[in-house]
Chain A
Amino acid sequence: MSHKTVVNIGPFHPLQEEPECYSLYVDGETVVDVDVRISYNHRGIEKLNESKTFDQVPFVVERVCGICSASHPLAYIQAVEEIAHVEVPERALYLRTIVNELERLHSHLLWVGLAGHFLGYNTVFMWAWKYREPVMDILEIATGSRVNYANCKIGGVRRDITEEQLKEIERVCDETVGPTEMLTNAILDDPILHARLKGVGVLSTKDAKEFGAVGPTARGSGVPIDVRRDDPYAAYDRIDWDVCSVPDGDVFSKAVVRLLEYFEAVKIIKQCVKDIPKGEIDAKVEDIPPGEGIGHVEAPRGETFHYVRSDGSNRPIRHKIRAPSYVNVPTFKASCIGQKIPDVAITLASVDPCYSCTERMCVALDADTHKPVYSFKDLVRLSQEKTQRMLKEW
């Protein structure tokens, strides 16, 4: 590397709320090379899981990522179910589909908001997150939690969604479609957004294939891959839906893909609510035989892949996770070089990179007594009370 100015995006930078470091080697404003460093906050989840029983692991893996907290457990559970050859009840498959698509709704709105924020368009940020809030609420009503749903278990799901709750889910989905359409049109018709996003950070179809990009990153580059269709799990093969793909590969296409997927996800949820069969929700798996299995799920950011090996005991002896950002982050080598700094900033954000860093702890201390204001128990109680209140109110 010749003598160039280095502009560091990270480890602490407003562009990404998680610790990561992109060193941009710049010549004037043009980026000539990118160096990516991640793993500032390695938590050793795979190793940790080897000390957990099969039933405990889902609670750990849903904490891998605060946003894909339905996708990771489902991928793990599918891997274990493959080992044990479990026949999952039909109703459970539909319930899994509903929660996973709700997760996609909130994740895509979250990304749209953040993309606006990165462009200095904070109104889009606030509006998108406002419309995301009802989705979070129905997730809380349906599963008991806004973020870590603890919904899936090996052989089925942990709790049923009642008829009234299903109706509420359908109603909220219908209600969010209008505002999201408005937001979509406002974004897709804005000439200044066109100027900022079109032709920026282009990832060609060839590069997307060579780097093995997944999810909206690949679909925005004209590679129509989607685990939900290519290797169906849950109830996706029983439902009529389309894979959204746009050929251009620029940041604008990635935004378009996500916004289109929002409406597809609403379509999927509504069909699930309509078609969901009655019956058991749990196959009651007794023990896991020796063997190995894989499970993959189309998380909002792309395919998340889990590998589990069992030796017949009650714990996995190996658990391997590959999150979608792991393959999407290297595509910056193809899409960022030669761009200007402002374009690189939004290109970095356009793959919605996730560094799986939600493992944080914060203790609020009383200034006088230096005692914690809330203990962990208090927080759990507060959260449960709020859920109960919400359930009563609607």
Chain B
Amino acid sequence: MAMGVLTFLLAAVGTLVLGLLLRWVDRKVTARVQWRVGPPWYQPFVDILKLTGKEKLMPASARGTGFLLAPVVGLAAVSVSTAILWHAVLWPQTAFMGDLIVLIYLLMLPALMTMLGAASSGNPHAAIGASREMKLLLSYELPMVLAILVAIVRTAGTNGTLTFRLGDLMAVQQATAPAVAGISGVLALLVAILCMQAKLGQVPFDMAEAECEIQAGVYVEYSGPSLAMILMTRAMLGALMPLLLVAVFWDGLYTGAWWGYLTFAGKYLLLVVLVTLIRNTNPRLRIDQVMRFFWYRLTPVAVAALILAIVGAAKGITWL
């Protein structure tokens, strides 16, 4: 029990620190792309620190319970998922059955909580933001799950049984080949990267906060510690999503040799910087365009990848 609590705390705090450092990487890379100097490494930490000392304002029209509870629940959900994911990555043998399903569920909670908080704030900008967040969630969840299914099918190809255990997923990939090594795997990873971009609420999928249209939309009424919690949630999510993708598609962390850590860091940072680069080379899309993009373009791609993977697994063709 004590061990479990310790793991949870370490994972949550560690991911928070990592997430805030990655926020700095994001801001620094962005600044360099835009010919700016960029902030010092401790800037995201100072931002959070400053917010925790600020007054918490709540609009008179807000429903207090939902408004104040939403950021807490969102942060809690992400913290739990950090514990599950890091535990699975570091000690694959001890992961529990179906942890992947729990993770997918928990990682959906921050978006739901954002909607709840925005809808309780009583602000029309936030209401529009909440409706966009909901449409966004409906857009990316299906292709995301389909993409993860591709990885599951591809790893099952070698031992015949489908596994929803992250530990097994990584163990099989490390023993044979990463799920991404094949046509269906590449397609699935591409779909998953775009879904990650949407889940992190980064340009071109940041219409829920759309600064110049609806003034930070879903977050417009948040201030002080509540806003700090939201920022922490987003920073942790930013650290978790690339980790999930590396674990599911790219054989996770190989702890058997020293170069395992290096390649892991390389893969992880690649995905992190990719998010930054995508967000710096695209304008924001409209929500209807996003829904069309995910439903009519990415979902068929994900389905095609899944069919390829199933065919590949049935016929034993590993490159499919």
Contact = CB atoms under 8 A, between A and B. Distances in A.
Contact of B281 (A15, A118, A123): A123
A6 interface: yes
A45 to B, nearest CB: 29
Q: Is the interface of A mostly helix, strand, loop or mixed?
A: helix
Contacts, number: 80
A211 to B, nearest CB: 24
A13 B220 CA distance: 12
Contacts of A124: 283
Interface stretch (B15-23, B178-186, B202-210, B305-313): B202-210
Q: Enumerate the 10 nearest inter-chain pairs by beta-carbon distance, A residue then B residue, closest first.
A: A120-B284, A126-B34, A119-B283, A121-B283, A345-B213, A118-B212, A15-B212, A120-B203, A123-B280, A342-B286
A174 B80 CA distance: 58
B125 A29 contact: no
A77 B137 CA distance: 59
B315 interface: no
A193 B283 contact: yes
A7 B34 contact: no
B128 A7 contact: yes
B33 to A, nearest CB: 6
A196 interface: yes
A192 interface: yes
A263 interface: no
A21 interface: no
Nearest to A125: B34
B73 to A, nearest CB: 27
Given A29-B287, A341-B128, A342-B284, A120 B34 contact: no
A195 B289 contact: yes
B283 A343 contact: no
B51 to A, nearest CB: 19
Interface in B176-201: none
Nearest to B209: A120
A29 B215 CA distance: 15
B288 interface: yes
A9 to B, nearest CB: 8
A196 B286 contact: yes
Contacts of B214: 7, 341
Nearest to A16: B212
A28 B34 CA distance: 35
A130 interface: yes
B285 interface: yes
A126 B284 contact: no
A120 B210 contact: yes
A28 B203 CA distance: 22
A53 interface: no
A123 B34 contact: yes
A209 interface: no
B258 interface: no
10 contacts: A5-B124, A120-B203, A121-B203, A121-B283, A123-B33, A193-B283, A195-B289, A196-B289, A341-B128, A342-B286
Interface in B27-43: 30, 33-36
Given A13-B215, A122-B280, A130-B35, A29 B124 contact: no
Using C-beta atoms within 8 Å of the partner chain, give the interface range for chain B. Answer: 20 to 34
Given A7-B128, A120-B284, A192-B204, A341 B213 contact: yes
A115 to B, nearest CB: 9
A217 B214 CA distance: 25
A116 interface: yes
B289 A7 contact: no
Given A127-B35, A342-B213, 19 more contacts: A7-B124, A14-B211, A15-B213, A29-B131, A29-B287, A118-B212, A118-B213, A119-B284, A120-B210, A120-B283, A122-B30, A122-B280, A126-B36, A192-B204, A192-B283, A192-B285, A193-B283, A196-B285, A342-B284
Interface string B109-145: 0000000000000001101100100000000000000
Interface in A84-121: 116-121
B282 interface: yes
Given A29-B128, A117-B212, A123-B280, A340 B286 contact: yes
Chain B CB count within 10 A is highest, among A116, A123, A340, A345, for: A123
Contacts of A122: 30, 34, 280
Contact of A121 (B35, B207, B213, B282): B282
Nearest to A197: B283
Contacts of A196: 283-286, 289
B115 to A, nearest CB: 16
Given A7-B128, A192-B204, A120 B212 contact: yes
Given A29-B287, A196-B286, A6 B124 contact: yes
A343 B212 CA distance: 11
B272 to A, nearest CB: 18
Nearest to B135: A29
A125 B36 CA distance: 12
A123 B285 CA distance: 16
B153 to A, nearest CB: 32
Nearest to A344: B213
